[in-house]
Chains A and B, each alone.
Chain A
């Protein structure tokens, strides 16, 4: 009887280990590097209140009425960044995301992306710096999703037009 139990345990252990994915990296995550350009923002570096002054890049599972909806993961620069630079977000679960990049120039006690902060939404179909300010355009475009692959780093570039800023509470400039 004891031998039969050992045999069953051995078979169960073998079955468990055979379930491992053996044809690829076991880590399902990748990275994305966002090269941003806010050089057209004439007062870049001038902050109001206690704004962080950082550039943020956020990956979104969907687009809602506000930029803090459906956020999957964000990365940011350090304080007082240059108008152009890059942000790398690591440990991103592989998949497709919308990308929003904004400069936290103005303080809001409730949300970081707030009124008058310059922002842009990634859209590779846009000739204006891979960017749009309209979430409806982004949803309608087949170029607004960025793909993050397992074990790889995706590189994208986005340029702000120097004008587009969030409305009240971070609402899109529609």
Chain B
């Protein structure tokens, strides 16, 4: 009986390591996203928000990623990143933000400028923003979550071990509509 038990144990010990992933690929299922943004309308037909004078606002540019979007931008975002630098010159309105270690999958992308302080959330009333829109060849952006959702136009696919850059060329340009979050931080839906 003891021999049978030892045999079973030995078999188990042999099987368990065999279940390990034995291809030499990276074990991480995450990727990287680079978001190029342009809130400076000069020369590209977009709008330019005023540089914030709110002493309590962070004045930084933020990127939020969503699996699904809700009525408010501060709800249900899954990843976020910031420039880490306060915008104090129009030149700071143009740049890029890199999000590392993002699980592979599809995301909606929000970029906003924290111009107005709120104690409830960073993304809030008065902040200029834009959502990624892959099929808008001019601005690569929209103010409406409905436009981003329709036909998955706003989805970005993050692939394991790869870096995705949006847009592929140029930048997300702050639209002529000059969208800012509304009351309670609601989307500025045209």
Chain A positions within 8 Å of B, measured between CB atoms, are 63-65, 69, 135-136, 139-140, 167-169, 171, 174
Contact = CB atoms under 8 A, between A and B. Distances in A.
7 contacts: A64-B70, A65-B145, A65-B146, A65-B149, A136-B186, A169-B150, A171-B146
A64 B183 CA distance: 16
Instruction: In the A-B complex, list the 10 residue pairs whose CB atoms are closest, starting with the nearest.
Output: A174-B189, A171-B146, A136-B186, A64-B70, A65-B145, A65-B71, A135-B71, A65-B69, A64-B71, A63-B71
B: interface residue count bin = 10 to 19
A167 B182 CA distance: 20
A170 B154 CA distance: 18
Given A169-B149, A171-B146, 20 more contacts: A64-B71, A65-B70, A65-B71, A65-B145, A65-B146, A65-B149, A69-B70, A136-B71, A136-B182, A136-B183, A136-B184, A136-B186, A139-B184, A140-B183, A140-B184, A167-B146, A168-B146, A168-B150, A169-B150, A174-B189
A106 B170 CA distance: 41
Contacts of A135: 71
Nearest to A70: B70
Nearest to A174: B189
Nearest to B149: A65
Interface string B159-187: 00000000000000000000000111010
Contacts of B183: 136, 140
Contacts of A167: 146
A136 B182 CA distance: 10
A6 B69 CA distance: 58
A64 B146 CA distance: 12
A63 B70 CA distance: 8
A69 B70 CA distance: 9
Contacts of B70: 64-65, 69
A140 to B, nearest CB: 7
A140 B145 CA distance: 20
Contacts of B150: 168-169
Nearest to B150: A168
A64 B69 CA distance: 8
Contacts of A63: 71
Contacts of B149: 65, 169
Nearest to B69: A65
Contacts of A136: 71, 182-184, 186
A139 B182 CA distance: 14
A66 to B, nearest CB: 9
A174 B182 CA distance: 13
A106 to B, nearest CB: 17
Contacts of A69: 70
Contacts of A168: 146, 150
A169 B150 CA distance: 9
Interface string B61-74: 00000000111000
Contacts of A139: 71, 184
